[in-house]
Chain A
Amino acid sequence: MWPKEFDYVRASSVDDAIQQTSDNTDAKILAGGHSLLPAMKLRLSEPGKLVDISRLADLKGISANGTLSIGAMSTHAEIAASADVQQYCASLATACGMVGDHQVRNFGTLGGNIAHADPASDPPTVLVAAGATIHIKRSRGERSVSAEDFFIDLFTTDLEDGEVITRIEVPNLSGHKAAYVKMPHPASRYAIVGVAVILEMDGDTCKSARVAVGGATVSAMRASGAESALSGSSLDDAALNAAASAVQSDISDALMGDVSYPESYRQAMSGVYLKRAVKAALG
């Protein structure tokens, strides 16, 4: 399949990419191409110009210095294998390691994944639970937005034309118990339901909890009812059952479904996968 004709340019810098996409609303950023090209081949997307940012060194690299900083062009494979990511936010490494297959992980990037905002993606769910910050550059300067506010709806984010995600910042969660679990679609491997939990423990008591859900919902979102049900509990069966029913109400207005996996099924599974996530976090 051939995409519709377009012009192709290689950005010489992040500012150049910003300029090339601000001047022309028909232009799109090209990172790994692993979401954009399939959409273009199906003619679901027909940009007139692609601005390739994949060779910009400024957008690469992962560093850990108090917080974790992940360049937007980092591939899923690089993130999954990074010792820094494993130390600061192991569940993000897990989620990136579950994306698609090894070929996709070699070329798909975190920046492209979150900009695309497929509701069935994995990393957004962990970024929302982890309280990550998305750093964005534009012609008027830089801005940052929390992951929670970044993901708005199906394939819709806070990102505007002429803006480039430069890096994703994640707090140091090494002292927390965390996990990401997903029910993968049997064919595509995308998440039918994905749940991320981050637990702050004091002995056997859960001092505080952050929970996010994706796959089942139109975008990755916090589940505050489930968080309250877990916080202050000893994570016993009663607390897990309460959290499993709370998560289902938390997401009830944002559910997504299809013929094979309708909304009600995904909603029920969010409770099951929440319990699994807590158990996985506690090891």
Chain B
Amino acid sequence: MKLLEVDDLHVTVDGQKILNGLSLTIEAGEVHALMGPNGSGKSTLANVLAGRPGYQITSGTIHFKGEQLKDLKVEERAHLGLFMAFQYPVEIPGVSNMEFMKAALDAQAAAREEEPLSAIEFMKAVRKIAEELDLNPDFLKRGVNEGFSGGEKKRNEILQLLLLQPTLAVLDETDSGLDIDAIQTVSAGVNRFRNTDNGLLLITHYQRLLDYIVPDVVHVLANGRIVRSGDKGLALTLEEKGYAWLSTS
């Protein structure tokens, strides 16, 4: 089943063309890696998928689970099972992490007409995931990402991923800022999340992550479009030869 289908997508931000004819299809059960030089448009794609205001689709279409994404509000996309782990998660002082995650879960349950978790079930679930990710439970009481280190913020994103159990998760450079041990813990968490019904889009600069979370397909984005796709080997070649190799090969 097709989870995500991006077809000939053109996007402008602040009047500037960023994506120029990007096409990408992710089937259920697949992991896709998206690589590419700084400024090539990777985060732009993630933001467009999530529905960030100010990102204008000038042509092309995005379907998620068969629905036109651009007709859906940001929160409706989340309710439908889309998740984005931010490259730079925002700090929200005053809103506790715990309170925030309960509100998110409740909102999603309500939208899907499901019973919300009880407070106790919720606490149990969160504590268990925090433990798996080696996150000190004290983080749950603090303000969302408030004063978290770079790596702690990234782990907090994965905590939310594991709690919300979306169908498609876009992880924007989750590995950047993680120490070597944390990459392994986080990857183990993500691998536990994987199943035949969901999908992953991993945005990364480093092939090392792909040793832990093995992708089915690797894409290279340059100047707003996918210029090369291949298997895991493509990432290794890029690591060795750099992006310049693409234009010569």
Do A and B belong to a common assembly?
no
